[in-house]
Structure 1
Amino acid sequence: MSAESRLAELNIELPPAPKPVGLYRPIVVSGGMAYLSGHGPLKTDKTLIKGRLGLDMDVEAGFEAARVTGLGMLSTLKGELGSLDKVKRLVKLLGLVRCTDGFVDQPAVINGCSELFRDVFGDEAGVAARSALGTNGLPGGIAVEIEAIFEVEA
Structure 2
Amino acid sequence: MGHIDARLRELGIDIPEVASPVANYVPARTTGSLLYTAGQLPFVDGALVATGKVGQDVSTSEAVELARICTLNALAAAQSVLGSLDRITQVVKVNGFVASSPDFIQQPTVLNGASELLGEIFGDIGIHARAAVGVAVLPLDAPVELELIVEFSTP
Residue 62 in structure 1 maps to residue 63 in structure 2: yes
Q: What one-letter code is carried by the residue in structure 2 that aligns with 1:11? A: G
- The runs of 5 or more residues in structure 1 that have no matched partner are none
SS of corresponding position for 1:117: helix
Q: Which residue in the other structure is 1:84 paired with?
A: 85
Aligned length: 152
Moved over 2 A (4+): none
- Structure 2 stretches of 5 or more lacking a match? none
C-alpha separation between the residues in 2 aligned to 1:140 and 1:116?
Answer: 24
Q: Which amino acid aligns with 2:137?
A: G
Q: Which residue of 2 aligns with 1:118?
A: 119
What secondary structure does 2:44 align onto? coil
Displacement of 1:115 after TM fit? 1.1
Quick one: which amino acid aligns to residue 25 of structure 2?
Y
**For the residues of structure 1 that align with 2:99 and 2:8, how far apart are their CA atoms?**
29
Cα deviation digits, residues 71-125 of structure 1 (max 9, x gap) = 1111111121111100001001110000111101001111111111111111x21
Letter in 2 for 1:12: I
Q: Which amino acid aligns with 2:141?
A: G
Instruction: Provide the rounded CA distance (Å) in 2 between the counterparts of 1:119 and 1:3.
Output: 10
Amino acid corresponding to residue 132 of structure 1 in structure 2: A
- Normalised by the length of structure 2, the TM-score is 0.94
Q: Distance in 2 between matches of 1:20 and 1:145?
A: 13
State the one-letter code of the partner of 2:146. I
Identity %: 36
Aligned alpha-carbon RMSD (Å)? 1.2
Deviation of 1:2 (Å):
2.1
For 1:39, what is the secondary structure of its paired residue? coil
Letter aligned with residue 9 of structure 2: A
The residue type equivalent to 2:131 in the other structure is: S
